[in-house]
A and B are shown apart, each in its own frame.
Chain A
Amino acid sequence: GENVGLHLPTLSVQEGDNSIINCAYSNSASDYFIWYKQESGKGPQFIIDIRSNMDKRQGQRVTVLLNKTVKHLSLQIAATQPGDSAVYFCATPTGQGNTGKLIFGQGTTLQVKP
């Protein structure tokens, strides 16, 4: 079945540096991926998504890269700010069709040092 996993449980970066959060998936048929951000004490928040017909997608200060060959995706945050401190989850749909059924990775905690 589908599975997603994050490589590092915790990532610590200096304010202003770029952050890279990695995620691997197991099902080569997975064709859609989503990144969520969860700040302390809050529910997750949608950041950005990417479909398998794309290698790269950019948002505001964030870029998601998808490497289908090695079944890996990454979330890059440019010029990391203290407000970026959060847990980041990758997720992918599971099952047939657009059911709303999602599977999440365990999450990477990003710590931004001032």
Chain B
Amino acid sequence: EAQVTQNPRYLITVTGKKLTVTCSQNMNHEYMSWYRQDPGLGLRQIYYSMNVEVTDKGDVPEGYKVSRKEKRNFPLILESPSPNQTSLYFCASSWAGTGPYEQYFGPGTRLTVT
């Protein structure tokens, strides 16, 4: 089944404890993105990647890191999480052939930082 998977789905952590949210897609998509969703603010793009080893900042990159060492994986790293990073996070992927904007989203990771 074609899908985008994220792990973990739920995470409660404390301020300053490094964490990684994994994202993997099995569709051989070139493009991948990370978003955060907050009430009243909609979806905001954190980072995006056009292909392996090609990443760039979205609208809200502060406090986050990403890497794209393999085509299928795009982990999101929070080196020192803070309470304002409490949010619902989505990973998405898309195929260059149909354009990078027909994105397939994962199920989301709900992160709480205390």
Q: Which residues of A contact B (CB under 8 A)?
A: 32, 34, 41-46, 49, 89, 91, 93, 98-107
Can you name 15 extra interface pairs (CB under 8 A) apart from A32-B101, A100-B100, A101-B56? A42-B107, A42-B108, A43-B107, A43-B108, A44-B92, A46-B102, A91-B43, A98-B100, A99-B56, A100-B103, A101-B45, A104-B35, A104-B43, A106-B41, A107-B42
A-B contact pairs, 12 of them (CB 8 A): A32-B99, A42-B107, A42-B108, A43-B107, A44-B103, A99-B56, A100-B103, A101-B56, A103-B45, A104-B42, A104-B43, A106-B41
B3 to A: closest C-beta gap in Å: 10
Give the dominant DSSP class at B's interface.
strand
B81 to A: closest C-beta gap in Å: 22
A94 to B: closest C-beta gap in Å: 8
Category for how many chain B residues contact A: 20 to 34
Within B1-49, the residues touching A (CB, 8 Å) are 4, 31-33, 35, 40-45, 48-49
Within B66-111, the residues touching A (CB, 8 Å) are 90, 92, 94, 96, 99-108
